[in-house]
Every structure is written in C-alpha cells, then in structure tokens.
C-alpha cells in the first residue's frame, strides 16, 4: 500500500508540484494499523490533477478534491487550502487554494492528523503529532472552542479517535465540547450515524459510550437510550441501534429496518424456542440473546437441532394438500401450513410425508 502511495506522490511531484500523504494513513502507519483510504495534500489544483491522472480521476464535488483509484486503493487528493468562515457549523463558505503545506495543516482538526509523508517515505511532523501519539492524547490544531464552533463534526471525530485508539482527549477539548456540544444538532443524522457506527464497532466501544455519556452528548445526539448499551456485550452495530430505538430520526436502509424490527421482536421471545429460531433465524436470535446477556452457544445448538429451518423443508406441498382435501386453493392452505409447521417444530408431528398426510386428513377432511 505504501509503495503504491509513494508512486502516486511521485506522479504528482514529477509535474513539479508538491504532494504529501497526510492525515489518517500516516497516523495509522505510525500507530501500526492499516488504513483503508489515503489522503494526499498537494499544491496542484483539481484541474491540474485531472490533467495528470486524466481517466482514473473523479472529482469529489463536495469538497473540491479529486479521487484517484490505483490498484484498488482510493486516494483522496486535496489541494492545500485555507478555509474561510464557516456556515451552519459544518461547511466552509469559501475555500482559498494556497501554495504552502504548513498553512494547510493549520485548518486540520487534530494534531495527530497533521503528520505528513513525502514521496521518499520521509515523515514531516511540523506540529509534533508524533509526540501526541506517543502521549496518547488528542489535541486540536489551535483553540478547541474555535475548531468545534467552526465544524461540529469534529466533536464526534474527537470522540471517535479517542475511542478507537484508546487515547485521552485534552482537557481543553473536554471543556470545549461541553460548551459547543449543542452544535451537533446541526449535523445531518447520516453524518452522526457514520461516526457513531465507528465508535460502536470499536473493540473499545465501552469507553467511547462512557465518554459520550460523560460529555452529555447522548442528549444532543438524540439517543436517550445510550446508557442502555453501556454494558451490552453485542458486537452487532444493528443490535445496538435496535436498543437505541431511533429509527424515527437516524437513517437506515430497508434491509436494516427489517433487521431492527426482527431484533426488537426477538428481544421479547425466548431465543432458544424453536418457533423464535425458525421465524427470526440464528443471527437475529443470537443478537437478541447477546443484548440480553445470554450465552449464544446454546442458541447455535438449538438452531442446528431444528427439525425444519424454512417452509420448503416441510415434506409436503400445496398441490398435495389440495388433492388430499379435494379443494381449490384458498386461505385455508396457509392455516394448515401454520399448523403443521408448529407441530413439526415442537416435534409433535414427524416431518414425513405419510405422517403429515394422515394428520391433515384426520384434522381437516370433511
Ligand atoms: P479515517 O480516514 O480513519 O476516518 P482520517 O483522519 O483520515 O481518518 P478523513 O476524513 O479521511 O479522516 O480526513 C483526512 C484528513 O483531513 C484528516 O486526517 C484531517 O487532517 C483532515 N480532516 C478531515 N475532516 C476534517 C474536519 N472535519 N476538520 C478539519 N480537518 C479535517
Ligand atoms: Mg482518511
């Protein structure tokens, strides 16, 4: 990954521009974890970058940067800039391209996110970000109150980085968050959810949730149930969202909404019960059991010993039922299916065609 990245830098610098990897990748590289995407800062403008990378280049309309994909790696290349005056605590009203890397670093959020790497793999650390990594602390670049007032997403990014790296927030950050936290109300629920998901799926999520609670962010994030997930053992982010019960505010796709509905239903059932397992499946019941602090090993065993796992497993079909009862299709077919399904699941009826036929004739014929 580093090789490809340095090649991309060289591609830009060979056209007489400056280019550095900056932000998450260098930070993660020093901490010793792998980054997913790579951020590059350069004095080349998006227009000049398009000339360098032509076909492999996608403008990122939102932010005046370009995205280049190489060998399956995504590079977000952003021109050195100054951000002038912020609107609605999120977006800079005006961006001014500049020629100087050190000035670009000043508009960034946290000191740990300002470390750069040049095309030779040399680290440039103008603001002593490495020291902060060593000290395991998150500090803002410049006054925290101003940083958070300009862009309240930085509040959630601070908590996210503190959580996933198990770093402390500087005292200044903690005070500034307490003063500015109401501004997270101006963020879209989509943005908030992206940050919260990263906190909830971190192995350190308990610290992160405690931090959100200590800072009082649960209220401003409209997640009053946050305290309920503090001691919950589930690693499923959708399980966590089910308990948070915020589908009226936070965005979920159709599939996620269906899962949340199922998990909520399974929460009030005995998750080892054959009918619960059959209806909601292993995943949903395991998540529900984890939320309730139950051992999921027993659930896996109960699930594998189910006689049938779906309607197709029942050793009969509608044609045969109609033939047995000498009747045209109708709603009665569903009632019979529900009945034999239940009998088979609870092992009162064996899942064998002959046995099922006799049962149907005896109970439903005439
Ligand atoms: P990750 O990619 O792991 O989420 P990251 O720090 O790389 O973390 P990105 O969103 O990729 O985050 O941003 C790249 C860099 O841009 C950051 O490291 C930081 O220097 C800067 N940055 C990102 N978002 C902000 C922001 N809201 N305010 C100021 N600087 C930011
Ligand atoms: Mg990044």
Extended strands (E) in 108-241: 116-117, 123-124, 137-138, 168-169
Bin 28: left if φ > 0, else alpha if -120 < ψ < 50, else beta.
alpha
DSSP structural state of residue 110: B
Report pLDDT for 234.
Answer: 80
Q: Tell me, using a 6 A CB cutoff, whether residue 147 lines ligand 1.
A: no
35 CA from centroid of ligand 1 (Å): 12
Asked if residue 301 lies in contact with residue 318, where contact means CB atoms within 8 angstroms, the answer is no
Distance (angstroms) between ligand 2 centre and the Cα of 23 equals: 6
Q: Residue 41: which of 110, 103, 94, 87 has the closest Cα?
A: 103
pLDDT of res. 61: 58
Protein residue with least CA distance to atom 7, ligand 1: 24
Residues 6+ apart with CB under 8 A from 300: 282, 286
Strands 168-169 and 137-138, by their bridges, are: parallel
pLDDT values of the chain reduced to their tens digit, one per residue, 366 residues? 899 999 999 999 999 999 999 999 999 999 999 988 899 999 999 889 989 988 667 766 556 789 999 888 999 999 999 887 777 777 777 788 889 999 999 999 999 999 999 999 999 999 999 999 999 999 999 999 999 999 999 999 999 999 999 999 999 999 999 999 999 999 999 999 999 999 999 999 999 999 999 999 999 999 999 999 998 888 899 999 999 999 999 999 999 999 999 999 999 999 999 999 999 999 999 999 999 999 889 999 999 999 999 999 999 999 999 999 999 999 999 999 999 999 999 999 999 999 999 999 999 987
pLDDT at 20: 98
Q: Which helix (H) or strand (E) holds 225?
A: none
Return residue ranges of the chain for CATH 1.10.110.30.
136-231
Q: How far is the CA of 24 from the centre of ligand 2 (A)?
A: 4
Measured by CA distance, the residue closest to atom 26 of ligand 1 is 109
> Is 153's C-beta closer than 6 angstroms to any atom of ligand 1?
yes
Cβ of residue 113 lying under 6 Å from some atom of ligand 1: yes
**Per-residue exposure over 10-32, b if at least 16 CB sit within 10 Å of its own CB, e if not:** ebbbeeebbbbbbbbbbbbbbee
Distance 362 CA to ligand 1 centre (A): 70
Closest-CA residue, ligand 1 atom 25, reads 109
CATH of the structural domain 1-134, one choice from 3.30.460.10, 3.90.79.10, 3.30.70.20, 3.30.300.30? 3.30.460.10
Question: Which ligand does the CA of 191 lie closest to?
Answer: 1
The CA distances from residue 316 to 63, 243, 313, 325, 348, in Å, are 59, 39, 8, 13, 16
Burial of 153 (0-12, 13-18, 19+ CB in 10 A): buried
Taking the alpha carbons of 111, 117, 123, 125 in that order, is the dihedral positive or negative?
A: negative
Q: Which CATH class is domain 311-364?
A: mainly alpha
Instruction: Tell me where in the chain the CATH 3.30.460.10 domain(s) lie.
Output: 1-134
Regarding the beta carbon of 24 and ligand 1, being less than 6 Å apart is answered yes
Q: Is the CB of 151 under 6 A from ligand 1?
A: yes
- Between the CA of 67 and the centroid of ligand 2 the distance, in Å, is 12
The answer to whether the CB of 139 is under 6 A from ligand 1 is no
Nearest alpha carbon to residue 160 among 118, 117, 120, 199:
199
So what's the pLDDT on residue 78? 94
Give residue 233's pLDDT: 84
Q: What is the pLDDT of residue 84?
A: 73
- Fold of the 136-231 domain: Hydrophobic Seed Protein (1.10.110)
Specify whether the CB–CB gap between 96 and 4 falls below 8 A. no
Q: Distance (Å, rounded) from C-alpha 238 to C-alpha 259?
A: 8
Cα-to-centroid distance, 219 and ligand 2 (Å): 28
**Whose CA is closest to atom 17 on ligand 1?**
23
- Is residue 115 helix, strand or coil? coil
Name which residue sits closest to atom 4 of ligand 1, judged by CA. Answer: 24
Pairing of strands 116-117, 19-22: antiparallel
Those residues whose C-beta lies under 8 Å from the C-beta of residue 208, and which sit 6 or more positions away, are: 159, 160, 162, 163, 164, 199, 200, 202
Residue with tokens 């999120």, as numbered in its chain: 90
Reduced to 3 states (helix: H, G, I; strand: E, B; else coil), residue 270 is coil
d(CA 29, CA 111): 15
Where, residue-wise, is CATH 1.10.246.80 in the chain?
311-364
Ligand nearest to the CA of 92: 1
């Amino acid at each position: 990954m580093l090789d490809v990245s340095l090649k991309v830098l060289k591609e830009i610098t060979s056209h007489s521009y400056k280019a550095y990897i900056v932000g998450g990748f260098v930070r993660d590289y020093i901490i010793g974890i792998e980054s997913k995407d790579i951020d590059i800062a350069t004095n080349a403008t998006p227009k000049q970058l398009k000339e360098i990378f032509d076909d492999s280049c996608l403008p990122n309309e939102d932010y005046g940067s370009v995205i280049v994909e190489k060998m399956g790696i995504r590079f977000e290349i952003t021109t050195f800039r100054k951000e002038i005056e912020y609107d609605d605590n999120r977006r800079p009203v005006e961006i001014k391209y500049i020629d100087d890397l050190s000035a670009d670093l000043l508009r960034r959020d946290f000191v740990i996110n300002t470390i750069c790497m040049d095309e030779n793999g040399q680290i440039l650390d103008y603001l002593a970000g490495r020291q902060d990594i060593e000290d395991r602390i998150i500090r803002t670049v410049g006054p925290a109150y101003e940083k958070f007032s300009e862009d309240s997403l930085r509040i959630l990014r601070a908590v996210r980085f503190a959580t996933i790296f198990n770093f402390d927030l500087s005292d200044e950050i903690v005070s500034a968050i307490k003063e500015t936290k109401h501004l997270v109300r101006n963020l879209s629920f989509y943005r908030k959810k992206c940050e919260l998901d990263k906190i909830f799926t971190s192995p350190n999520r308990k610290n992160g949730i405690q931090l959100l609670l200590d800072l009082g962010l649960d209220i401003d994030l409209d997640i009053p149930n946050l305290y309920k997930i503090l001691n919950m053992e589930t690693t499923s982010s959708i399980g966590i969202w089910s308990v948070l019960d915020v589908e009226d505010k936070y965005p979920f796709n159709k599939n996620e909404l269906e899962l949340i509905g199922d998990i909520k239903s399974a929460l009030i059932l005995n998750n080892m019960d054959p009918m619960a397992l059959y209806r909601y499946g292993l995943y949903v019941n395991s998540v529900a059991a984890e939320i309730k602090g139950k051992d999921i090993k027993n659930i896996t065993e109960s699930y594998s010993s189910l006689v049938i796992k779906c309607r197709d497993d029942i050793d009969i079909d509608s044609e045969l039922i109609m033939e047995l009862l000498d009747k045209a299709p109708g709603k009665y077919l569903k009632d019979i299916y529900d009945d034999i399904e239940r009998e088979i699941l609870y092992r009162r009826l064996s899942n064998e065609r002959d046995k099922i036929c006799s049962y149907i004739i005896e109970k439903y014929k005439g």
